[in-house]
A and B are shown apart, each in its own frame.
Chain A
Amino acid sequence: MEVEKGKTAKYLKEKQGIPPQATEQLKQFTKTKKALLNALKEGDKTVPQLADKLNMPGDAVMFQLMSLLKYGFVETGEIDDMDEYFYYKIKSNGKNKS
């Protein structure tokens, strides 16, 4: 069967469906991403400040925040007065990808 180029995802989706854990994972990531970005929109924050505000464990904040940094949503700001924690902020290079 010839499948049209550029539409092959649809073919596989119809053939074998989407793994349920993948959908669940995406839901969780989108939710956390939204919460982190909303918190940073209010002002630059450190990882412990984000963890406090969102009531999330520090390591989970760190993992997701660093992923958002990698994906280009967030950038690193200044370090705090004690030279311990960096502030993170919404990346200001124009386009706000989502």
Chain B
Amino acid sequence: MQEQMKTLEYDVLVVGAGIAGGESALNLANIGYKVLMVEKEPSIGGKMILLSKVFPTLDCAACITTPKVSEIARHPNITVFTDTETEKINKKGEHQFEAVILRKPRYVDVDACTGCQLCEEACPVSVTDEFQFGLVGRKAAYIPFSIASPRAAVIDIENCILCGACERACPPDCIDFTQTEEKFLVKIKSVVVATGFDLFDPLKIPRYGYGKFKNVITSMQMERELAPTRPFNTVLRPGDGKMPDNLAYVLCTGSRDKSVGNPICSQICCMYSIKQAQLLLGALPMADVTIYYLHIRAFGKGFNEFYAQAQDMGVTFIKGKVGTITEKENGNLILRYEDIEAGVVKEAEHDMVVLSVGVLPHQGISEKFENQKLKLDPFHFIDQSDILASPAKTSIEGVFVAGTASGPMDIPDSILSGGSASAQTTSYLRKEEL
């Protein structure tokens, strides 16, 4: 039964539909290559589509992502498979790869779904919304988020009580619980790996109290609180709904920290924290924002000016390493830190703490390559075999890497890296045609 696989043929397989994978796919599709994009989530757009604004321009992240995402979705040369994982990839010869992909059932006919959300309204179940990073609930029949692509419902089968209310409410009858998983054999000439990154889980640093102290949140949760499609009516403490007026950022949470196994800099946390601080001063004009940092790394174009702008706006920067966080009865938090410049240990009280969590490799893709080894670097990102001359090249000829799959980088660099991967893929494909 399981082995009845449909065979598909494309020029390039792009694994991961975030901003880097998307950029690669678009460039390749625009010059005529047929591209298959596989994405494990129910929507394309990766992490960027969930952000509020981007640094250092403070442009709306959705306004940059959505036109790209809709171009990908409507491109005649791109086929997108969401809810799909890559099971294995084999190199059969030069310009000959075979991949097996597994598409999980969504229980919704995506082409027929109009995104009306009547199923969502009818569904009686409420579970944690992963796209709001646990700050609020969602239904078991749901549209992942308002700018999701495809903007179609998904049934969370693990939490569904199979009451059928969504089916009865659905005007085009697009809900289908008879769907099952499908396996495909994909024949391609080249592969672009754009599997992105994972965020550091601050539960691994118990002394910061994340999970236990409800007013300690991650930077991604704050990103959601600041987004137009935010979970609360404004920026509020998740512990008791208070509007905070004295917030702290703890930089390098899970980065540059050997004790948690990640000794490298995540490259984005300084700047996204400075961005969030500026946005917070806009959202909460009476609030104080303090950033505890080791070094501010503002290396990109316009970054240092952006940092200076935050200082001018009144953000306080303290060169200090936070040791522990404790909670007072009113939900406020005491940060015990080393003031590096003064050389003393101090304590400060804040009513909300944001942990600026770092970038970790999204592991697993290298094991999918069966007959050739996709080499990883010492930090488990994909190794760039010729980092200076051909940054997208990997240890397998014909397999290229795009974006944060190769290491921490910001959005402009991810898009550049996606561009580089598409150029090198084109060059590889053209070699066959010559």
Interface residues of A (CB under 8 A from B): 3, 5-13, 18-19, 21-23, 25-26, 29-30, 33, 46-48, 51, 58-59, 61-67, 69-72, 76, 79, 83-86, 97
Contacts and interface: CB of A to CB of B under 8 A. Distances in A.
B238 A29 contact: no
B164 A83 contact: no
B241 A48 contact: yes
Contacts of B312: none
A85 B138 CA distance: 24
A3 B121 CA distance: 25
Nearest to A60: B214
Contacts of B232: 66, 69
Given A3-B178, A76-B233, A85-B243, 12 more contacts: A8-B178, A22-B125, A25-B125, A30-B124, A47-B240, A47-B241, A58-B240, A62-B241, A67-B136, A79-B243, A84-B242, A97-B121
Contacts of B233: 69, 76, 86
Most buried by A among B170, B243, B286: B243
Contacts, number: 120
16 contacts: A7-B164, A9-B177, A12-B178, A18-B160, A18-B161, A22-B160, A25-B126, A25-B159, A63-B135, A63-B136, A64-B126, A66-B232, A69-B233, A84-B242, A86-B236, A86-B241
A97 B163 CA distance: 18
A49 to B, nearest CB: 10
A59 B239 contact: yes
B241 A29 contact: no
Nearest to B120: A71
Interface in B162-210: 162-164, 166-168, 170, 173, 175-178
Contacts of B176: 5, 8
B226 to A, nearest CB: 15
A18 B162 CA distance: 7
B144 interface: no
Contacts of B125: 22, 25-26, 29
Interface in B215-257: 231-234, 236-243
Contacts of B178: 3, 8, 11-12
B158 A22 contact: yes
A77 to B, nearest CB: 10
Interface string B116-128: 0000010011110
A94 B212 CA distance: 39
A30 B126 CA distance: 9
A70 B241 contact: no
The 3 closest A-B pairs by CB, nearest first: A47-B241, A67-B137, A9-B164
A15 B232 CA distance: 39
B56 interface: no
Nearest to A97: B121
A45 to B, nearest CB: 10
A7 B167 contact: yes
A74 B122 CA distance: 17
Contacts of A3: 178
B331 interface: yes
B239 A10 contact: no
Nearest to B126: A29
Interface size of B as a range: 35 or more
A8 B240 contact: no
B136 to A, nearest CB: 5
A26 B137 contact: no
A55 B135 CA distance: 21
A8 B243 contact: no
Interface in B328-385: 331
B173 A6 contact: yes
Nearest to B243: A84
Given A62-B239, A85-B242, A26 B161 contact: yes
A32 B170 CA distance: 27
Contacts of B236: 62, 86
A29 B140 CA distance: 13
A84 to B, nearest CB: 5
Contact of B124 (A5, A7, A19, A26): A26
Nearest to A5: B173
A22 B138 CA distance: 14
A63 B239 contact: no
Given A48-B240, A59-B214, A62-B241, A9 B162 contact: yes
B137 to A, nearest CB: 3
Contacts of B243: 79, 83-86
Nearest to A83: B243
A72 to B, nearest CB: 8
Contacts of A67: 126, 136-138
A21 B159 CA distance: 7
